[in-house]
């Protein structure tokens, strides 16, 4: 399945509502989220662009400790 085109704002909502991340900080147009699970701390940085490029989206998922399938399952 091809990854969807998401905005930075949509990605933040998905990470917070579906995966339990919380807003930590914002530096300029970059939102920093936070989640700690099983002693592992994750701090993905999401740029607030109208459309996130595929590489950027994959990088955010990697920072969040999520897979492409995790995102696809939530968006179904």
- Domain limits of the chain? 8-75
Residues of the chain above pLDDT 90, percent: 93
> Residues 35-44: pLDDT tens digits?
999 999 999 9
Question: Would you say residue 2 has pLDDT above 90?
Answer: no
74: its two tokens = 């939530």
CATH class as words, domain 8-75? alpha beta
For residues 47 and 29, the answer to whether their CB atoms sit within 8 Å is: yes
Residue given tokens 């147009």 in the structure block: 29
For the chain, helix, strand, coil in percent to 5 are: 40, 25, 35
20-35 pLDDT, tens digit each: 999 999 999 999 999 9
């Amino acid at each position: 399945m091809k990854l969807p085109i998401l905005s930075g704002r949509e990605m933040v909502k998905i990470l917070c509502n579906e995966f339990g991340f919380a807003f930590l900080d914002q530096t300029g147009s970059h939102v920093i989220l936070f989640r700690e699970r099983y002693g592992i701390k994750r701090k993905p940085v999401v740029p607030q662009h109208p459309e996130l490029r595929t590489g950027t989206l994959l990088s955010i998922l990697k920072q969040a400790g999520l897979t492409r399938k995790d995102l696809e399952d939530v968006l179904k």
